[in-house]
Amino acid sequence: MVQREISTVTSRAQTIQVARNSGTLLWILQRLTSYGLILFLGVHLYFTYFARLSATTPLTFEIFNRPFNAYTFIYALNEALLLVCALFHGLNGLRNIIYDWTTNAGLRRAVSVILVLVGLGFAIYGGMILWLVA
C-alpha cells in the first residue's frame, strides 16, 4: 500500500492508503461495458422493435415475440450480456461516485462488498428469468 495525500477532492487534506494499480482494471472494464451497452442495446432494440414490423399490421404479442422465437439462443445471449454490462457499468459508476465522496477505507470496502453482492444477486435473478423464458 502507498500513502498518498489527497487535497483536491475533500475540504481538507487527508492521507489515504492506495493500492498500486488498483483502479486500472475497473477503469478498462467501465469503458468496455459502455461499448457493450451500445452494441447489445442496439441489437436488443432492433430485435424487439424493428425486426419484421410493418406499419400496416397491428402490434400483437405474437409479432413482438417472433424474433425471440426465431433466434432464441442469440437473443437470450444478447439479453444476458446486456444485463451483465448494464449491471457492472451502473454499479461500478455508483461505486466511483461513493469513492469520490469519502476517503474512509472501511466505508469504501463495505460499499464495494455490498455493490458486488447486489450485482451478483441481480445477475442471478436475471439469469434465472432468461433461463425460464428461453
Q: Under CATH, what is the fold of the domain 24-133?
A: 3 helical TM bundles of succinate and fumarate reductases (1.20.1300)
Across 9-13, 19-23, 42-46, 123-127, the highest mean pLDDT is recorded for 123-127
At what angle are helices 72-101 and 24-45 packed, to 10 degrees?
140
pLDDT tens figures, 39-56 = 999 998 887 777 666 667
- Per domain, the residue ranges of the chain are 24-133
pLDDT tens figures, 74-85 = 888 999 999 999
Taking CA atoms, 8 is separated from 13, 20, 100, in Å, by: 8, 20, 11
In three-state secondary structure terms, 14 is strand
pLDDT tens figures, 57-80 = 777 777 777 777 777 888 889 999
